[in-house]
């Protein structure tokens, strides 16, 4: 999948593609960096043609395996942690943060 955006803030479309086993070619900007990182699931390059040609060499299994390292629980905990920095009481007894971390 070619992801030509330079402005996407996270890259949920990238993650959805990886979850389908589709390697990704993208610019090295925030969203792709957050999702692809240093994994072997995609290729980031300023020249999308170069990224595309390299992404064709990536196995669908590697793409899918990388997608499976993400979870809604982890994303929620990261978000709630940021909220806690704004309001430390947000992690108190009965809070969403406490409810999510009990099962971990």
By residue range, what is the domain housing residue 92? Answer: 72-102
Distance between CA atoms of residues 48 and 97, nearest Å: 40
pLDDT of residue 102: 53
Q: Examine the domain organization and report whether 63 and 26 are in the same domain.
A: yes
Within the chain, residue ranges assigned H as helices are: 12-19, 30-35, 48-55, 60-67, 72-86, 96-102
Cα separation of 70 and 104, whole Å? 15
Residues 62 and 76 in one domain: no
Q: How many domains does the chain have?
A: 2
How far apart, in whole angstroms, are the C-alpha atoms of residue 85 and residue 103?
22
Q: Is 100 helix (H, G, I), strand (E, B) or coil?
A: helix
Same structural domain, 58 and 84:
no
The pLDDT of residue 84: 80
Does 60 share its domain with 95? no
Same domain, 32 and 62: yes
Based on the domain organization, do 47 and 80 belong to the same domain? no
Widest distance between CA atoms in the chain = 52
Query: In a structure prediction context, what are the per-residue pLDDT tens digits for the chain, which is 104 residues long?
Result: 999 999 866 778 999 999 999 999 999 999 999 999 999 999 999 999 999 999 999 999 999 999 999 998 988 888 888 888 887 766 566 665 566 555 55
Q: Cα–Cα distance between 20 and 47 in angstroms, integer?
A: 24
């Amino acid at each position: 999948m070619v992801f030509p955006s330079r402005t996407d803030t996270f890259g949920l479309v990238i993650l959805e593609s990886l979850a389908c086993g589709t390697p990704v070619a993208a610019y090295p900007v925030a969203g792709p960096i957050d999702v692809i990182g240093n994994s072997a699931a995609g290729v980031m390059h300023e020249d999308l043609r170069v990224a595309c040609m390299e992404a064709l060499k990536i196995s669908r299994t590697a793409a899918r395996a990388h997608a499976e390292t993400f979870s809604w629980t982890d994303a929620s905990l990261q978000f709630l942690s940021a909220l806690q920095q704004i309001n430390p009481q947000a992690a108190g007894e009965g809070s969403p943060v406490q409810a999510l971390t009990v099962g971990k």
